[in-house]
Amino acid sequence: MENSTKKTKNNFLRECLSWLIYLVVLGGIYLTIAHFFTMATVDGHSMDPNLYNGEKMLVLKQADIKRNSVIIFDAHGEDPNATAKDYYVKRVIGLPGDTVSYKDGKLYVNNKVADQSFISKKELNVGTRYFDTNNQIKNWSISSLSRTKWVYNQNSKVVPKGEYFVLGDNRSVSNDSRYWGFVKKSKVLGVAKLFPWSGTAKHRHNVNDLAK
């Protein structure tokens, strides 16, 4: 009887240990995945038509941020009107050290016309401008915006180290760097990617493949 009791206890301990190992491995896999990936949902129309309202995205937390990367970031403390837990999705136009400007229907990065084929000509020619306090459409540069529009980042001439200049693809409605300034790298959750079944091939390309 005593041997039988010990055997039962040993079997119980082995089963508990096997479950513990399983849970530890499962927890490790979850933490690894959570370190590199998360999911997000588009809220709003500032990235139309490449990202639509309600669309699901995969967010790569450790991906390198490049020019034309689509990023998700915590807007609280960047946009003065953003509240806690407000996350924005925008496209990176200017990297640290870049100059950015808009003149006569063309966007310039480092004094070269930027390829903006991922948005419509209307959004580039009209939507990329901004309205001043007198509701007049204006051209702009980082220098002019920093003098007249921004609460933070005043007197900037280039994108600062560790920060990014971002715009929404749907420029006519996008609340972005033109209005409140740069995004700190520390605020970036990650780089957005569309799933193979999301949107159209063109829209997937415009979100997933243009970073350089």
Per the residue annotation, which of 7, 66, 85, 90 is the catalytic one?
A: 90
Integer CA distances (angstroms), 111 to 21, 64, 98, 99, 114, in order? 58, 24, 9, 7, 9
User: Is 141 annotated as catalytic?
Assistant: no
* CB of 195 closer than 8 Å to CB of 58: yes
Rounded CA separation 125/6 (Å): 81
Contacts of 36 (CB under 8 A, 6+ apart): 60, 61, 62
User: Is 90 annotated as catalytic?
Assistant: yes
Q: Is the dihedral of CA 174, 44, 57, 49 positive or negative?
A: negative
Integer CA distances (angstroms), 2 to 8, 12, 13, 16, 59, in order? 10, 15, 17, 21, 57
- DSSP-derived letter for residue 139 is -
In terms of Cβ atoms closer than 10 Å to its own Cβ (0-12, 13-18, 19+), residue 160 is: middle
Through-space distance between the first and last CA atoms of the chain, rounded to whole angstroms: 73
Per the residue annotation, which of 7, 9, 46, 146 is the catalytic one?
A: 46
Rounded CA separation 130/139 (Å): 7
Give catalytic residue positions: 46, 90
